[in-house]
C-alpha cells in the first residue's frame, strides 16, 4: 500500500489512518498490539479487546481467576472432570448425586407366609447363594436393594435387618448377601443371576465352618423357643467393588445361612400360626448407599 512504511523501513508496526482500513495478506504485530478505546458491544465480525473478553466473552483456560459477581443465566459451566474436587473447587451434579445414591426395600407383611427350608452348610458362589434354598428371592421376600454406581465411584454400604423365626436352634444361623449385576439397559433378567457373595473369608484351617456377615440373635434367653419368639439378623457390610463397574446397576439380596440340619425360617412372624398376642409380627428391610472414597 503506497505511502505506508513497512516494518523494515519504519522501525515499528503499521499505523493506519482513516476508515475503513483494509488489510490484505499477512499482518503481524510483533512489537505493539493494536489498541482500541471503543466501549460499545462488538459485532459478530469485529475484533474484541481484552476489556471485552474479560467482561463478556471470556473462554478461559488454565488458572481462571474470577472476581466480582459472575452470572451464568443462559448456560451453566460444565466439567467432565471425575477426580475428587478440592475444598475450594466447584462441584458438578454428577459428584453430588454420588452422595445421594441409595436403594432400599422393606417388607411389612407376614401374610401370606414366606418361608425358607434352608439346608446345612455354606452356599456356593456358582449357585448365587441359593443351592441350599436360603436366598431370599426364592420365594420372593421383597428384600432387594438396587443401586447404580455413579461416575465418581465409591464403595457400597448395605444395611439390613431380617426378622422372623427359625424352626430349630436359632443360634446356629446367620446371614450373608448376594450381589447381581443388571443388564446394559439397567434391568435384571428373569431369573436374576447373582455373581458374587459377600460373607466372611474362607478359613483354610477350618473350611467347613459357617461363614456369616452376622449371626441371628435370639430374643428368648431362658431356653429354646421354637414356636413364638422371633430372631433377628441386624448389621451392615461394605462392598469395596471387586468386579463392580461404574455406571452399572447392582442388586443386593439377603441369604440365610444354617449350620444345623435343615431348618425352616419364616419371615416377619413366628413359626406357630396361631394369632395370640404373644406371637408378634415384625418388619424386615435392606438398603444400599454409596460411600465416597
pLDDT digit string (tens) for 28-86?
778 888 888 888 888 878 888 877 776 655 555 556 566 666 677 777 778 787 776 77
C-alpha distances (whole Å) from 4 to each of 26, 29, 30, 59 are: 15, 15, 17, 35
pLDDT of 189 strictly over 90: yes
pLDDT of 13 strictly over 60: no
pLDDT of 1 strictly over 70: no
The residue with greater pLDDT, 237 or 218, is 237
What average pLDDT is seen over the chain?
Answer: 83
- Domains of the chain, by residue range, sit at 102-291
- Cis amide bond preceding 190, omega within 30: no
User: Which DSSP letter does residue 171 get?
Assistant: G
pLDDT of 163 strictly over 90: yes
**pTM for the predicted model, two decimal places:** 0.68
Share of the chain above pLDDT 70, in %: 78
pLDDT digits (tens, 9 = 90+) for 133-142: 999 998 999 9
Burial code of 256-274, b = ≥16 C-beta within 10 A, e = fewer? bbbbbeebbbbbbbbbeee
What per-residue confidence (pLDDT) applies to 97?
59
pLDDT digits (tens, 9 = 90+) for 250-290: 999 999 999 999 999 999 999 888 778 888 899 999 999 99
Burial code of 67-76, b = ≥16 C-beta within 10 A, e = fewer? eeeeeeeeee
Burial of 2 (C-beta count, 10 Å sphere; 0-12/13-18/19+):
exposed
Residue whose C-alpha cell is 474362607: 202
What pLDDT band is residue 191 in, cutting at 50, 70 and 90?
A: very high
Amino acid at each position: 500500500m503506497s505511502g505506508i512504511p513497512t516494518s523494515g523501513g519504519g522501525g515499528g508496526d503499521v499505523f493506519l489512518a482513516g476508515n475503513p482500513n483494509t488489510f490484505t495478506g499477512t499482518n503481524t504485530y510483533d512489537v505493539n498490539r493494536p489498541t482500541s478505546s471503543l466501549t460499545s458491544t462488538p459485532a459478530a465480525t469485529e475484533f474484541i479487546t481484552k476489556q471485552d473478553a474479560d467482561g463478556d466473552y471470556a473462554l478461559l483456560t488454565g488458572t481462571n481467576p474470577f472476581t466480582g459477581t459472575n452470572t451464568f443465566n443462559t448456560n451453566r459451566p460444565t466439567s467432565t472432570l471425575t477426580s475428587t474436587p478440592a475444598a475450594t473447587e466447584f462441584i458438578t451434579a454428577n459428584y453430588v448425586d454420588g452422595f445421594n445414591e441409595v436403594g432400599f426395600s422393606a417388607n411389612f407383611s407376614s401374610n401370606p407366609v414366606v418361608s425358607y427350608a434352608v439346608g446345612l452348610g455354606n452356599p456356593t458362589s456358582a449357585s448365587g447363594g441359593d443351592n441350599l434354598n436360603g436366598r431370599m428371592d426364592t420365594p420372593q421376600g421383597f428384600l432387594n436393594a438396587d443401586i447404580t454406581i455413579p461416575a465418581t465411584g465409591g464403595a457400597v454400604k448395605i444395611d439390613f435387618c431380617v426378622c422372623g423365626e427359625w424352626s430349630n436352634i436359632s443360634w446356629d444361623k446367620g446371614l450373608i448377601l448376594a450381589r447381581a449385576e443388571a443388564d446394559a439397559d439397567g434391568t435384571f433378567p428373569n431369573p436374576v443371576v447373582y455373581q458374587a457373595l459377600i460373607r466372611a473369608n474362607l478359613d483354610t484351617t477350618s473350611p467347613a465352618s459357617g461363614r456369616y456377615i452376622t449371626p441371628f440373635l435370639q430374643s428368648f434367653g431362658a431356653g429354646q423357643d421354637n414356636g413364638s419368639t422371633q430372631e433377628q439378623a441386624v448389621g451392615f457390610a461394605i462392598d469395596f467393588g471387586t468386579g463392580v463397574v461404574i455406571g452399572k446397576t447392582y442388586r443386593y439380596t439377603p441369604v440365610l445361612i444354617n449350620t444345623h440340619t435343615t431348618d425352616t425360617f419364616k419371615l416377619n412372624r413366628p413359626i406357630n400360626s396361631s394369632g395370640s398376642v404373644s406371637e408378634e409380627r415384625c418388619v424386615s428391610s435392606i438398603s444400599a448407599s454409596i460411600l465416597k472414597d
